[in-house]
A and B are shown apart, each in its own frame.
Chain A
Amino acid sequence: MNDILVEVKDVKRYFPVNRGVIFLKRLGYIKAVDGLSFTIGKGETFGLVGESGCGKTTTAKLLLLLEKITGGTISFDGQDISKLSGSELKAYRSSVQAVFQDPYSSLSPRMRLGNIIAEPIIESKSLPQKAVKDRIAEVLNVVGLRHDAHELYPHELSGGQRQRVAVARALASNPKLIVLDEPVSALDVSIRAQIMNLLHDIQRKMGVTYLLIAHDLAVVKHMSKTIGVMYLGKMVEFAGSDELYFHPLHPYTQALLSAAMPSHPDDKREEIVLPGEVSTPFNPPPGCRLQSRCFNAKPICTAAEPELKEVSPGHFVSCHLY
């Protein structure tokens, strides 16, 4: 299988919780990501959905090597990313880029756009100045900004234009994978569609792979080929986007989809309301993470943790019901 770009296998990230200063007492762990597995195919978009605190962003940070992996492996193009060093690490960093939620805080206010976009190129390889300039003009063109925009400062741009710059920066070093962490949620509705179309066009033309993290289910559905649903650090369901949205199996996925806002006033769906709120990932109890809120909980759900099973081709679910 040569068309898999990212393979995440049983990845864990625990944050220790301690009390005391010198005589540390370990109280336990916050299991932000706990045994996560998925694969992303080349040139595809993989969407991760879930509520705040479910570990979506931690997963992104693990991929970007901004967090240390506690257990498990992430391989990128066949290489284990936690074992990279030297020039390999440098090459990895330039082939994985990110676009963040808030374009007001992700661009340095004191740098000109040209320098912002050039940074990943200069960091990854030494190019003559002319080549860097050409590349800046090229990516500015790709994201639909004027070629002389490299002279400007971020404050001279609107939110949508800033997000275009963030996309341009991510594209500059010719990456294979771009992590999109809530790329449109800080933008206005009409601008949102512009950026989503732009990302779509870029993927079609350049074949980059996206890991999309968002909480807006319609946005994720629109952009992704496969979607994984996370709950408290676990992948609860994982399937092709149409399959997942039309045949959700896991109770959490069903509840999440029923809670999505309708697209028109007569779009009435059965409402599944989960009682209570997301519990904490601090020392979670054994068994299924959803047990206390699930409408279908059985005795086995508190006793054993469900495994991720393939119930139909490409559709994985982690629930004792199946």
Chain B
Amino acid sequence: MTSTKVLEVKDLKTYFFTSRGVVKAVDGVSFELAEGETLGLVGESGCGKTITCQSVLRLVPAPAGRIVGGEIILEGENLLSKKEKEMAHIRGYKVSMILQDPMASLNPVLTIGAQVAEPIRIHQRLATRSVWEKVKEMLRLVRIPSPEVRMKEYPHQMSGGMRQRVVGAIMLSCQPRLLIADEPTTSLDVTIQAQYLKLLKELQAQQKFALIVVTHDLGIVAKICDRVAVMYAGKIVENGDVRDIFYHPAHPYTQALLGSLPKIFEREEQLMTIEGQPPELHALPQGCSFAPRCSVAQDLCRREYPPLSVLKEGHLVHCWLCASGKG
């Protein structure tokens, strides 16, 4: 691999200390991301996808939440050893994040232009005129029609798809190295979603940023991701190339997730289901957390957490079935 590594997360642990006990929201997560690469972080609600991303930006809700272990290395520098002031310069400059609901991430009382200008002004020290030039350029980049007019408007004057594109303009205005998109299209319609994902990919091809897409929609993953990390109960259970995951899923949870997805151009009577509910994170079962819902669980699974098995270069899985000498 000749491409440069942008992000490396090693054994990240983010715990929440609550009155009901310690919630291990992220428990030993590791992954890597190269320049221009797209990672899909998949899992059900409450599996720790969002907390993983918040940890990368060091925005975990304090005081309950704390990063208790691991390393987050962005271009050779460990973000966990940075001071808060240094982090403030990294957020929005080197790492940006797009949130699910564009209405909630835009300020309703500021114009679009002022909001796109903010990160440019803070991080790039440009003269006022060049700031506005840059704003116009960014809005044009995300295909906002007539940016000169639109930049004087307020978020409520725009449609959902356009607002999400404005958020994209804000996040990309400083050419970040890493963009985290947390469920970027959940609130958008089908055709607008397709437009937005296409735009995101085009911008990635131009600016070469690494992209993390957090989603529960495997369709989005199939469409835009190069690599996939499947999370369950705070841990990455399987990590691999998008084709390996879709065509040769190794973990029973990944297999079940794929089987429970209705296929648009096929006809099937029954969908595969996963019995039961995801576990409560403050009372995780011993051993593999998926074991209680797993159809092929053995005694060993209920006793010990499975080690990491490497199926092939870049395809990693935590499952006793794949552990050497077992399967």
Contacts and interface: CB of A to CB of B under 8 A. Distances in A.
B156 interface: no
B202 to A, nearest CB: 12
A188 B222 contact: no
B256 A190 contact: yes
Nearest to B42: A189
A193 B190 contact: no
Given A255-B191, A261-B217, A217 B273 contact: no
A271 B269 CA distance: 28
Interface residues of B, number: 44
Interface string A211-247: 0000101110110000000000000000000100110
B267 interface: yes
A277 interface: yes
A250 B165 CA distance: 28
A41 B303 CA distance: 53
A261 B216 contact: no
A194 B257 CA distance: 12
A262 interface: yes
A164 to B, nearest CB: 12
A262 B257 contact: no
B216 A189 contact: yes
B267 A242 contact: yes
A297 interface: no
B271 interface: yes
B218 A189 contact: yes
Contacts of A189: 44, 216-218, 257, 260-261
B146 interface: no
A156 interface: no
Interface residues of A, number: 42
A188 B44 contact: yes
A217 B265 CA distance: 10
Contact of A263 (B219, B256, B273): B219
A152 interface: no
A261 B223 CA distance: 7
Given A188-B45, A219-B262, A265-B246, A158 B277 contact: yes
Contacts, number: 118
A206 interface: no
Interface in A254-295: 255-267, 271, 273-274, 277-278
A194 B273 contact: yes
B152 interface: no
B296 interface: no
Interface in B232-275: 242-243, 246-247, 256-257, 259-274
Nearest to B271: A193
Given A246-B265, A261-B223, A273-B195, A215 B246 contact: no
A265 B222 contact: yes
A265 B194 contact: no
A70 interface: no
B272 A263 contact: no
B151 to A, nearest CB: 19
Most buried by B among A189, A192, A194: A189
Please name the 8 residue pairs, one residue from A and one from B, whose CB atoms are nearest each other, closest first.
Answer: A261-B219, A193-B260, A259-B194, A222-B262, A190-B274, A51-B189, A193-B271, A188-B44
22 contacts: A158-B277, A188-B44, A188-B45, A189-B217, A189-B257, A191-B44, A193-B262, A194-B274, A200-B270, A222-B262, A255-B191, A259-B190, A261-B193, A261-B220, A261-B222, A261-B223, A263-B264, A263-B265, A264-B222, A264-B247, A273-B194, A273-B198
Given A196-B262, A263-B222, 12 more contacts: A190-B278, A193-B274, A196-B271, A221-B264, A258-B194, A259-B190, A261-B217, A261-B220, A263-B266, A265-B223, A267-B265, A273-B194
